[in-house]
Structures are given as structure tokens and as C-alpha cells.
Amino acid sequence: MDDSEDVTEDIRKIRWHQEAIDKNIELLTRAHRKEILEEIMGFFGNVPRKKKAINRARIFLAIDGNRTVSDLADYLNLAISYISQEITKLKEMSLIEVKRVSKQGIVYKKTRANSILRISAKLKKDFGIIEDQKTTSSRDSERR
């Protein structure tokens, strides 16, 4: 076997191990879904009528793997600095990650935790957020 074949085989083994690790993490996450989701919802505020909690949820829901931070600010009508602060917190909670860096800016995507735990669906339900809803007025928020 030459060096390139050795490297190819090593890469295959690494991928196989990574897939096994991912599957085990997914299994553990599902097994502890209730406790993990409780902590995540606590992070979002568990207070659907509070503006800060609603905005954090809206930012998370608007992250789609296509929008830059600037795009998110425009889409949600929020300050870029505020979006950036919330993105930092979402990354620290391992809810989002960098998808790519382009000339236009950094694009984020939700982590697998979102699909495993169905975080987006829970946030939409608990906060009464309609997908593609650009803004939520405080009066509408008070009704929920």
C-alpha cells in the first residue's frame, strides 16, 4: 500500500469512529431528553412574555444556515450588536455552530441537538412564534 492509500484508509477509520461517537451521543441525548430540554428552555427564559426571551427564541429560530449576522439583524429588525451577543450565548450552549465564513459575514446553523430534541418546535409552541414571522409586537406578546 502506498502513502495515499494509507491516508485514505485512516480517513475511513476516523469517519467510522466519528459516526459511532455521534450515534452514541444521539442515543444519550434522547435518553435524557427531558432534563436537557428543561435546561435549554431555562436558557431561553421559560417566560414567553418577556421581550428578551422572545428575542432570543426568534434569533435561534431565524438561524437557518443561510443568513449572516447582518442578514439576521435586518430580518428580525434587531441591532447587529444584540444579535452578536445572543449568538455568542447560543454557541456557548452548543445550540448553533459556524456553517461557513464568507465575504458577507459568518453564517450559523443549528446543531443536531435541534433536530434530536425538537427545540425549534418547542420554542414556536411555547413562545407562540410563527415561522417566517419577522417581528412580534410587545402587544401580541402580552396576549400569549
For 74-96, write each residue's pLDDT tens digit: 999 999 999 999 999 999 999 99
CA distance 117 to 34: 9
- 113 inside domain: yes
- 83 inside domain: yes
| Cα–chain center distance at 103 | 22
Write down the pLDDT at residue 39. 93
Domain count of the chain?
Answer: 1
Condensed to tens digits (0 to 9), the pLDDT of residues 37-79 reads 999 999 998 666 688 899 999 999 999 999 999 999 999 999 9
Handedness of CA 28, 34, 37, 42 (dihedral sign): negative
- 22 inside domain: no
The residue to which cell 442578514 is assigned: 71
Condensed to tens digits (0 to 9), the pLDDT of residues 106-144 reads 999 999 999 999 999 999 998 888 865 444 433 343 333
Q: Where do runs of H (alpha helix) occur along the chain?
A: 3-31, 33-44, 51-62, 69-76, 80-92, 112-117, 119-127, 138-143
pTM for this predicted structure? 0.78
Which residues constitute the domain of residue 46?
32-143
CATH number of the domain within which 96 lies = 1.10.10.10
Q: How many Cβ atoms sit within 10 Å of the Cβ of residue 74?
A: 14
- CA 107, 121, 127, 108: dihedral to nearest 10 degrees? -10
